[in-house]
């Protein structure tokens, strides 16, 4: 069965209307299309309920001896366990909560920067979000080696093999490009890094809502993610192998034990948002148990099984969206950046950057905005990648980024607007 046939089958099986019912923002009667999900996804009602409950009932500081404070401790512990299940971490203590992914990357760069001696080379890529480049480039004692994207729109492990050496301390790369949607074979990259005695740090922010994450199968050492990309409020979380986190020197106050996760969580984070990320993981579990209305799904043996089933269904359905969006963009003659071959769509998520010939990106997004469709233009926080693509960062590209609550009908609304625009360019 080819990619198109598989996509059509997945579209028929995915319960899109049931999924959309979970998200109040999609049911406000305003007929707005959220096609800017790479900048932050909408949240299910159960996430809103968890946040509201925390602020209403337990809006106190943790660590006290009274019941409400102890419930905050319990909320954080439950959320840590849920995120550990989402990532397939060995221990929940390997998960740290904080403000956002960027601040965690900076924290880790400062900690790893203190370990640079003979091994002082850090490999960075020209396909990454600037947060996973500039934070490492800020280290004065490091030398940097570039793992460059190929013309086909992805990073290739064979190229990493040619630059990794006994001098390599760390490979820092994305799991999925926030601009191009390309999925990197990071498990193979981890093997290359470990073969030369290095570690690997993964930016999983953009991949988070699109497929299953398994830190053990990826063989990674550190991984950072943003909750607000995976249907929770604005917050971030970091995972690291416990034995590595234990040895790193991080900022902490004297009364905090030199143990993860406390040594990674500097200061007070936003507890209600942590309650929200716990509920977001439980939403994915709910999606896994209810997908397609199959009663047999209720017999799945674990929460992790439910998450895996949900994300497998999401991957298949999003393949449908990717194929249809590709068709539309090709039909209007757009310049599409990144992977365009449908047979390689297992290497991408439904995030597309493009430009229309003769039309400034800002005009495209403004025209779509006037039609009630939210997309984004600019350099996508990846100016080095823009230059690599031959695009001026100050004008950039147009990005359409979909998740599993988007529909084919929404793509067709997008098609109507962009077709008229391209005809009158």
Mean pLDDT for the stretch of residues 211-236: 97
Q: So what's the pLDDT on residue 293?
A: 45
Mean pLDDT for the stretch of residues 146-150: 98
182 contact partners, CB below 8 Å, separation of at least 6 = 127, 149, 153, 154, 155, 176, 338, 339, 347, 348
Is the pLDDT at 295 greater than 70? The verdict is no
**327-369 pLDDT, tens digit each:** 999 999 999 999 999 999 999 999 999 999 999 999 999 999 9
Q: So what's the pLDDT on residue 1?
A: 46
Contact between residue 220 and residue 193 where contact means Cβ atoms under 8 Å apart: no
The two structure tokens encoding residue 41: 């996804």
Asked if the peptide bond before residue 261 counts as cis, ω within 30 degrees of 0, the response is yes
Round to whole Å and give the CA distance between 207 and 302.
Answer: 23
In the chain, CATH 3.90.1150.10 covers 3-44+306-423
| % of residues, the chain, pLDDT over 90 | 89
Is the pLDDT at 52 greater than 50? The verdict is yes
**56-87 pLDDT, tens digit each:** 999 999 999 999 999 999 999 999 999 999 99
Q: So what's the pLDDT on residue 5?
A: 52
CATH architecture classification, 3-44+306-423: Alpha-Beta Complex (3.90)
Is the pLDDT at 298 greater than 60? The verdict is no
Q: So what's the pLDDT on residue 206?
A: 98
Is the pLDDT at 3 greater than 80? The verdict is no
Cα 306 from chain centroid?
19
Is the pLDDT at 157 greater than 80? The verdict is yes
Q: So what's the pLDDT on residue 248?
A: 94
* CATH number 3.30.300.30 given to 48-280: no
Q: Which residue has the higher pLDDT, 5 or 414?
A: 414
End-to-end Cα spacing for the chain = 39
Strand 222-226 versus strand 397-401 pairing type: unpaired
In the chain, CATH 3.40.640.10 covers 48-280
| % of residues, the chain, pLDDT over 70 | 95
Q: So what's the pLDDT on residue 266?
A: 81
Q: So what's the pLDDT on residue 21?
A: 96
Q: Which residue has the higher pLDDT, 173 or 11?
A: 173
């Amino acid at each position: 069965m080819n990619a198109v046939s598989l996509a059509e089958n997945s579209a028929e099986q995915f319960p899109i209307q049931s999924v959309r019912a979970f998200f109040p923002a999609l049911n406000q009667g305003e007929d707005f299309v959220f096609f800017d999900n790479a900048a932050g996804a909408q949240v299910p009602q159960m996430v809103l309920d968890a946040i509201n409950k925390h602020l209403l009932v337990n809006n106190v500081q943790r660590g006290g001896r009274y019941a409400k404070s102890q419930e905050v401790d319990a909320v954080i512990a439950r959320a840590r366990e849920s995120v550990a299940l989402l990532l397939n971490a060995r221990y929940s203590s390997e998960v740290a909560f904080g403000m956002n992914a960027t601040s965690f990357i900076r924290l880790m760069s400062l900690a790893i920067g203190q370990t640079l001696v003979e091994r002082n080379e850090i490999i960075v890529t020209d396909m990454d979000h600037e947060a996973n480049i500039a934070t490492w480039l800020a280290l004065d004692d490091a030398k940097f080696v570039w793992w460059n994207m190929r013309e086909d729109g992805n990073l290739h492990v064979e190229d990493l093999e040619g630059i990794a050496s006994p001098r390599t301390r760390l490979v820092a790369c994305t799991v999925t490009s926030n601009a191009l949607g390309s999925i990197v074979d990071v498990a193979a990259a981890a093997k290359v890094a470990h073969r030369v005695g290095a570690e690997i740090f993964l930016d999983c922010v953009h991949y988070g809502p699109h497929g299953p994450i398994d830190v053990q199968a990826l063989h990674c050492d550190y991984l950072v993610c943003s909750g607000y990309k995976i249907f929770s409020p604005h917050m971030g979380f970091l995972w690291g192998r416990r034995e590595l986190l234990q040895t790193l020197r991080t900022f902490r106050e004297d009364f905090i034990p030199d143990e993860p996760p406390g040594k990674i969580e500097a200061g007070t984070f936003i507890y209600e948002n942590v309650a929200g990320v716990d509920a977001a993981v439980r939403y994915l579990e709910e999606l896994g148990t209810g997908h397609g209305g199959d009663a047999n799904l209720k017999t799945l043996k674990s929460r992790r099984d439910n998450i895996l089933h949900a994300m497998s269904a999401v991957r298949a359905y999003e393949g449908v969206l990717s194929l249809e969006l590709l068709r539309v963009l090709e039909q209007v003659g757009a310049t599409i950046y990144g992977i365009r071959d449908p047979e390689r769509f297992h290497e991408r998520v439904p995030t597309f950057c493009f430009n229309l010939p003769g039309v400034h990106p800002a005009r495209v997004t403004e025209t779509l905005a006037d039609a009630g469709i939210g997309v984004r233009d600019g350099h996508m926080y990846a100016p080095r990648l823009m230059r690599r693509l031959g695009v001026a960062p100050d004008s950039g590209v147009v990005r359409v980024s979909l998740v599993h609550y988007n529909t084919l009908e929404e793509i067709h609304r997008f098609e109507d607007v962009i077709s008229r625009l391209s005809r009158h360019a």
